[in-house]
Amino acid sequence: MKISDNLNNVMDRINEAAYRCGRTAEDIQIVAVTKNVDSNTIMNAINLGIKNIGENRVQELKTKYELIRQPVKWHFIGTLQSNKVKYIVDKVDLIHSLDRLSLAEELNKRGKKIDREIPVLVQVNVSKESTKSGVFEEDLFLFMDKIARFEYIKIKGLMTIAPYTSNEESVRPYFSRLRELFEEVKEQKYANADIQYLSMGMTNDFEIAIEEGSNMLRLGRAIFGDRI
């Protein structure tokens, strides 16, 4: 299928999922995951209305950022090594994967150096899978307390990755729990927080994520097919 057909299909599914839970598609942002996708294909998606580009490799983000001079927002969605922060800190509009204090310290240091507040999501490993990064839920509020002191970090919300499974319904409890944590974090009113985004849902589970409150989806294969 063409990317235009894929996007139409995605929007139909988003509309239907949103309707089922009393929401509208306008509440939900799509981050197009462009790992291994060439710049011309990305440009095609942008021309079709994509406004958010998500990369999980620093070098790919740097390269594509220089090639694609369009008014889109850049998201870093992968595990971020502290020694790579300096290469993207002036380019990204949102980092989805803040998962440890050492990374927060580096982001704050680099943000201060360029006098720029760095918007981040805290990654929560709700499923506690050893193969996934993220703060465990029982450590989340202590972690939030620790990073609340960083004046060059702006906490914009939470992110999680659900287990990959053929049983779609089995992921619902993880999304439901992150929504609960999201609401609890908002209530804390941290000084360096502006809690807006609940980033959960990928190609294989985004409809359930919407039903459980996601307002930011990370979609690769659903848009670009088998390139991802």
Q: What is the pLDDT of residues 5-48, one digit of tens each?
A: 999 999 999 999 999 999 999 999 999 999 999 999 999 999 99
- For residue 155, how many C-alpha atoms fall within 13 Å in the half-sphere facing its CB? 29
> How far is residue 123's CA from residue 200's CA, in Å, rounded to a whole number?
10
pTM of the model: 0.95
Judged by phi (left if over 0) then psi (alpha if -120 to 50, else beta), residue 109 lies in: alpha
pLDDT tier, 168 (very low <50, low <70, confident <90, very high otherwise): confident
How far is CA 211 from each of CA 184, 195, 202, 221, rounded to the nearest angstrom?
19, 19, 13, 20
Q: Does the structure show a pLDDT above 60 at 102?
A: yes
Sequence-distant contacts of 37-44: CB under 8 A, at least 24 apart: 37/220, 37/224, 37/227, 37/228, 39/64, 39/67, 39/68, 41/3, 41/224, 41/227, 42/68, 43/68, 43/70, 44/3
Domain that holds residue 193: 3-227
CB atoms near residue 11 (< 10 Å): 14
Query: What pLDDT score was predicted for residue 228?
Result: 47
**Contact status, residue 50 vs residue 222, Cβ threshold 8 Å:** no
* CATH label of the domain that carries residue 39: 3.20.20.10
pLDDT tier, 1 (very low <50, low <70, confident <90, very high otherwise): low
Query: What pLDDT score was predicted for residue 135?
Result: 97
Mean residue pLDDT of the chain comes to 95
- The total of structural domains in the chain comes to 1
